[in-house]
Structure 1
């Protein structure tokens, strides 16, 4: 028996081979909060029947079902690749580094067609019995990463799903010894792509990657369920850089509307040889939208620069993840 509270909850994830078809979870994520729920649309008959004062129960029908909600977590040093793949789109096979136990995943921005997940959540009753709610056909429509002074690197993902299946067997959760990336490991670099240098004064970074999709593909012959969402707009990448005003680098880019490459990375302990645990986002071109410095008191000037990620014509944004994971 589990503990009859959130202490007994679990989240398991698996990549689907076919949209909306259940796959038993293979990865178990240490999450901080989730809001994945089944949403249903019903219609109630308005037919008039002499003397009937209340709508008839048998004349209410279920016309549409779907799943949506957020999934929040700390970004850990292993087990996260399956989520990055669903967000970024590239089919990734971890590449062994030399003859070590370090494996590099490179998640380059690509189409997310065919990238769906089964997300199984275990929700404990107060008795300690954990109920199964398997969310099928889960597509990640956005992912936001953030890290502040003294904090962990966190990720918040918006999910759109096809259905909730409560008939599956709850998988037995197992967790490897994971550690979160954190502010003490954080570096931010800007400059020419491939030769970016460290930028001083950065206190907080956030980056959001949005994958717009048509999630309203409800058709006849689908038993009230949607077909796989299709991308229907360009990718949107935005973020912010909270800083102390120690240099004019960002200020000058804001003024000129110039582009710079941005590398945001976390370097953890050595896995083997020269290969360290790594989480890295590379945006080959960003432009600053807002944030010119303003003095609002006696303290240090602290501008927050917002940015938009764009295509430099050659290099695509990517997430690199170096861990001991042999597979996603």
Structure 2
């Protein structure tokens, strides 16, 4: 027997685009909006004695699937989402049993495709009904940390098709999988931080204590219009890079210094390192950690304005290539997961 709360999401990387595999990663998710998209055309030709479109002239032009998945960033099981969003990953053993996973922006096509399955129980305690999405590619995502809240990741997906005949894969979950919190966070803005390596986190930079919230969005600008003759109305060509990736962020900063104001007015490049460190030790001297390293941002405003209370600045910024050859964004996870 089930309740309506017994919904699940499972996913696994595909070997061949659009060829389904059995999901083996099951996140504890917050929401999802995965759905089939049908581009239906209705013939409009005139016919004596008829005032409405005819059944035999209704056709299915194109079909695909798309939607979002939002999760809480946890110590384990989230690497698959970061790899799907950024495109490249490396897992390196630290002191046993800990690993460091580094995720960087891919510089070659194509991005990975995944089989995603959602299970939705029938009302009244019925069995979960499987809706399986083949050829799912992550097109964009946003990592966010709000004051006093859990760190969250929302990803958007484009899939080749949805299938309802594939058997339901019962979920299995990682035990003691804690989430990352705002209270575990620390941020540096400016200075000259040392970039992360395969076995070391980013370090250094100028510590600040005036940031209230932070978000980072990545839009890979994929071309998802791969509908060609012979594809039966489905995407026969997988999504590929269709333009420059758009990486942006936003943070709210209390006005206790002129650093952000002057960086905006002078268009100064700033390095940003945001690190969430859990109190849970997973090996000697190693803790569950989530870190975002950005070598160069340029801010888009704003100047502080007078208000009846604490003056805050809403800082939008662009993530740019600093010409060093380094990824414009690197996300690091220190985890018990041996691989993504």
Q: Is the 8 A contact 1:142 1:210 kept in 2?
A: yes
Q: Is the 8 A contact 1:292 1:305 kept in 2?
A: no
Shift of 1:48: 4.2
Q: 2:35 aligns with which of 10, 34, 37?
A: 37
2:315 is equivalent to residue 305 of structure 1:
yes
Q: Is the 8 A contact 1:203 1:244 kept in 2?
A: yes
Distance in 2 between the 1:172 and 1:94 partners? 27
Q: 1:101/1:255 Cα in 2 relative to 1: closer, same or farther (>3 Å)? A: same
Which aligned segments of 4 or more residues in structure 1 are displaced greater than 6 angstroms? none
Instruction: Give the aligned partner of residue 241 of structure 2.
Output: 231
Q: Give RMSD over aligned pairs.
A: 1.4
Shift of 1:220: 0.4
Q: Is the 8 A contact 1:201 1:245 kept in 2?
A: yes
Secondary structure at the aligned position of 2:214 is classed as strand
Please give the TM-score of this superposition, normalised by the length of structure 1.
Answer: 0.95
Distance in 1 between the 2:113 and 2:10 partners? 14
Secondary structure at the aligned position of 1:220 is classed as coil
Q: 2:146 aligns with which of 126, 145, 148?
A: 148
Structure 1: gaps of 5 or more residues: none
Shift of 1:278: 1.0
Q: Is the 8 A contact 1:200 1:246 kept in 2?
A: no
Secondary structure at the aligned position of 1:255 is classed as helix
Distance in 1 between the 2:2 and 2:43 partners? 43
Distance in 2 between the 1:153 and 1:66 partners? 31
Instruction: Give the aligned partner of residue 72 of structure 1.
Output: 70
Shift of 1:138: 1.1
Q: 2:287 aligns with which of 261, 272, 276?
A: 276
Distance in 1 between the 2:52 and 2:302 partners? 58
2:115 is equivalent to residue 118 of structure 1:
yes
**Aligned pair count?**
323
Distance in 2 between the 1:214 and 1:135 partners? 19
Q: Is the 8 A contact 1:253 1:288 kept in 2?
A: yes
Structure 2: gaps of 5 or more residues: 195-203
